[in-house]
Structure 1
Amino acid sequence: MAHASTEDPISIQLEEPVPGTTLLRVDGEVDMLTSPSLRRAIADQLTSGRLLIDLDGVEFLGTSGLAALVEAREQALSHEVELWLICSSRQVLRPLEIAGLVELFRITDSATQILDAAK
């Protein structure tokens, strides 16, 4: 599932690396124009036991992108889905820190450890 063409500022790709775990790879800019695509992609995947959102390809994370992530957290809690953010870049971590949201999320810099434990 790719939500991007060459003109789109966002690309969202879906993988299932292990049964019960969905991985959304997000690349590009998450802003007011693209956050609805991210919201839809996340909402569609809140059926598995674990959802990993890989944000390492995100070049810009605006306030509407932060809001989409907070909404994803609330939806994951209500659906009893384990939600992880994968990010190591300043472009993503800094906005999360400034908004005081880091403590709300499970954040890791690599999916490997989570996926190895799920096997």
Structure 2
Amino acid sequence: SILLEPDSLYITTTQLSEAKYHWSLCRTGSSCNEAVRHHWHEKPHLPNHPVAEGYGFQRIQPRSLTGRVVLGYFKLSGYTPPSSTVWAEICETTFETSYPTVQLNRVHGITCRTWVLKVLSTLCERG
């Protein structure tokens, strides 16, 4: 098992296929038992909601439920946790829109990796 430090931020990578990785951010709370994964991911197709992807978050489980292994937890030094309200606003507004297909998102530079990088850039800008 991997021990994550409290009040920290990690970039995580999960292997999807031989040459593809899913990037996300793992934010820990003041206790070692609080860890939430934040990421840009595919959304189920719903009527009247024509977007292929969006922001989401989940509490991290003690073990993988999908059989996928996190390949890396990269701790970001110098991270000062913003308030939960500021954090949510940054994550939810990083991309103004999502397109109806994953392919259109990629054409417009919208990926899980670019989402992570833009969130980090916004955190740096806000101090």
TM-score normalised by the chain length of structure 1? 0.28
TM-score normalised by the chain length of structure 2? 0.27
Task: Decide which structure has the larger Cα Rg and report it.
Answer: 2
Which has the larger share of helix?
1
Higher relative contact order (CA 8 A, sep 6+): 2
